[in-house]
Chains A and B, each alone.
Chain A
Amino acid sequence: MNGQAQSLLVPLLVNGLIIGMLYGVVAMCFVLIYKASQVVNFAQGELLLVGAWVCWWLLTRYHLPFVWGFLITLAFMMALGVLIQIALLRPMIGEPVISVIMITIGLSIFLQALMKWIFGVFAQPFPPVFSTRTVTLLGLTIETAYIMSATVCLIVMTGFAWFFKYSREGLAMRATAFSQQVAQSLGVPVRRIFALSWAISAMVSAVAGVVIGVVNGVSSALSFYGIKVFPAVIVGGLDSIVGGVLGGVIVGVVENMAHYADTTFLHVGNLYEVAPFYVLILILLIRPYGLMGTRDIERV
């Protein structure tokens, strides 16, 4: 039994790392918005959904090759991100946190219903994108799409690192995150920075959405990944990009390890789903700013 159990452990670990990178991509988008404008985006899952549907539509309706469809999707999502920021979030500057949360929740309800209306209620498969569908890694066979997401995650992470450290806009974004008023007084176009952060976040969300769509088919329940992102960003720290990826990986591993413990010893049944939430609560109690967030949470 031990040998059999061991043979489950390594594949689950690898799976957790790979899926964790996907969560990390979504977490990075979330953190980007929060870092730049202190807005909690409860509609992150819906941005994934919109990206996935638009890409699917371009691929199946117009039969574009994947690369072109993908690039057009990215452009569309960029425009959508800017539009959302201008229309919805600008009036909310200065409002209390609850209002901001509720407006993103309202947006998520609206987008969900809109997607169902436009694209229907049936789950749709993506046309085959990769020539080889699966890849074997350390004894675990996984979809090539996940490898793509892991690669994208690393690229985006390094891209963000370079962006924040060396580019002017990145510097401006960090300044805005630190103190909006001081940054504005120094000439940083704060509103443009907000719009830029939403645009980039929406674009990267589309990537994650497309990956999930390729693997599972596109359906409205795809937006549940927007809920899974919360454990990831809390564990990693709400305002740290690297923390977001780290948190995503940790959540992926925790899920899989919880499942392993569940099937081998505990036989509770549901740990795969709830374990991330237990971890979230635990982290909030012990170390609310996460592993890599800034330590400015006042304790009562």
Chain B
Amino acid sequence: MAAADTRPCGDYRTSYGGDQTIFATRLALAACVAGLLLLCASPLFLGKYFVSLLIQIAYFGIAALGLNILVGFSGQISIGHAAFFGFGGFASAWLANHGVPVFFAVPLAGLCTTVVGLMFGLPATRLRGLYLAIATLAAQYILQDFFARSTWLTGGVAGSPAKPFAIFGWQADSDVRFFYVAWAWLVVMYLGATNLMRTRDGRALVAVRDHYLSAEMMGVNLTLYRSMAFGISSFYAGIAGALYAHYLGFMSLEGIDVLLSIQFLGMVIIGGLGSITGSLLGTAFMVLLPEAVGAAASGLAGSWLDQLLGLKSGIAYLREMTIGAVIVLFLIFEPDGLAHRWRRIKAYWKLYPFSY
């Protein structure tokens, strides 16, 4: 529902269905479609580097959306998202290696991750806020230990090879082909989430976040919806992990740690809690920021700033510090994230010259 956007004059809604359309105006729909077409055509003129960055944005974007559904829409903090992401990857690789066609292994892996998510979600409904955050942090470490221990699932030392994505003989073994697969999944998942948010269940989730006592009094079953939020978010994380595994062709323990969970949280917060476009914006920001810092540093190489700070040796530290600083600065100056900033920009132009 486009309540936060300003509607143009004369744009009246005359039915409930009309009020709940995903795209508020025809222009919004056209812009989205045009953007998608541009994206589809982009591998033709973008280099491999940018295509791979876009693929990363795609699967991280799906995971970030899952986390946003949990944190932003249902108000339950989770610092264990990377564990579900990893589980999805391992499950999909395992299924693919045991005969399931990859096309089906990906959603099946999502379902497996949902089950695991529910396992953690059900007891988590008894906790709120900070305690939930700490419990999910513990869950992250416990699941990491589980991955390390269960060599049948994770392939232990050598990791688990994952077959490339294939459907009816068409193999997505090159970056460009996988680009289409990843973004197709992204579109499907994002439409799904947008649709979820305008249904009764979506509204129930938001109600649980905003004032759970009132929600309970109105008949919203808190346990059900809190667990459902965990389940849905794990589904998204599982799909994202599966895509990651089939892109790399290999799934291993390295990199599935609490730092990745924190990065997901960063994506969600920078993008904007409780905003679907925000998830994608936040993901794009977090994926492109290290590259931008690297490019800026190599651009500055040799200049006085470089010599002053010892940039050449300190560039990676600078990257980490920038990420930490960006999270801090966003929280202080733009707590509602990039989505809010984007809405303000749109509102500025729509209300010009009365934008204050």
Contacts and interface: CB of A to CB of B under 8 A. Distances in A.
- A and B directly contacting (CB within 8 A): yes
Interface of A: 40, 88, 91-92, 95, 97-99, 101-103, 105-114, 116-117, 227, 230-231, 234, 238, 268-270, 273-274, 277-278, 280-281, 284-285, 288, 297-300
B312 interface: no
Contacts of B88: none
A106 B325 contact: yes
A109 B314 contact: no
Given A98-B269, A230-B137, A106 B328 contact: yes
B130 A274 contact: no
Contacts of A109: 262, 320-321, 323-324, 327
A221 B327 CA distance: 22
A116 B142 CA distance: 28
Nearest to B120: A281
Contact of B328 (A88, A231, A273): A88
Given A95-B331, A98-B71, A277-B142, 15 more contacts: A91-B332, A99-B331, A102-B331, A110-B328, A113-B319, A114-B317, A227-B258, A230-B138, A269-B149, A273-B145, A274-B145, A280-B135, A281-B139, A281-B142, A288-B126
B126 to A, nearest CB: 6
Contact of B133 (A101, A106, A268, A297): A101
12 contacts: A88-B332, A98-B269, A101-B77, A109-B324, A230-B134, A270-B148, A273-B141, A274-B141, A281-B142, A284-B127, A300-B125, A300-B128
A278 B142 contact: yes
A285 B269 contact: no
- Give the interface SS of chain A, mostly helix, strand, loop or mixed: helix
B131 A106 contact: no
Interface string B294-338: 000000000000000000001001111101111110011001000
The 8 A-B pairs with the shortest beta carbon distances in the complex, nearest first, are: A110-B324, A109-B324, A106-B327, A113-B320, A117-B317, A277-B138, A106-B328, A113-B321
A102 B265 contact: yes
A280 B134 contact: yes
Nearest to A271: B145
B258 to A, nearest CB: 8
Interface of B: 71, 77, 123, 125-131, 133-135, 137-139, 141-142, 145, 148-149, 212, 222-223, 226, 258, 262, 265-266, 269, 273, 314, 317-321, 323-328, 331-332, 335
Contacts of B223: 300
Contact of B331 (A92, A113, A278, A299): A92
A238 to B, nearest CB: 8
Give the one of A92, A97, A108 with max B CB within 10 A.
A97
Contacts of B123: 281, 285
B279 to A, nearest CB: 15
Contacts of B139: 281
A107 B265 CA distance: 14
A284 B265 CA distance: 22
A280 B319 CA distance: 34
Contacts of B325: 106, 110
B340 to A, nearest CB: 13
Nearest to A290: B131
Contacts of B320: 109-110, 112-113
Contacts of A285: 123, 126
Contact of A92 (B71, B126, B332): B332
A107 B328 contact: yes
Nearest to A39: B130
Nearest to B273: A98
A97 B142 contact: no
B134 A274 contact: no
Contacts of A108: 324
Contacts of B332: 88, 91-92, 103
A114 B316 CA distance: 11
B128 A297 contact: yes
A98 B77 contact: yes
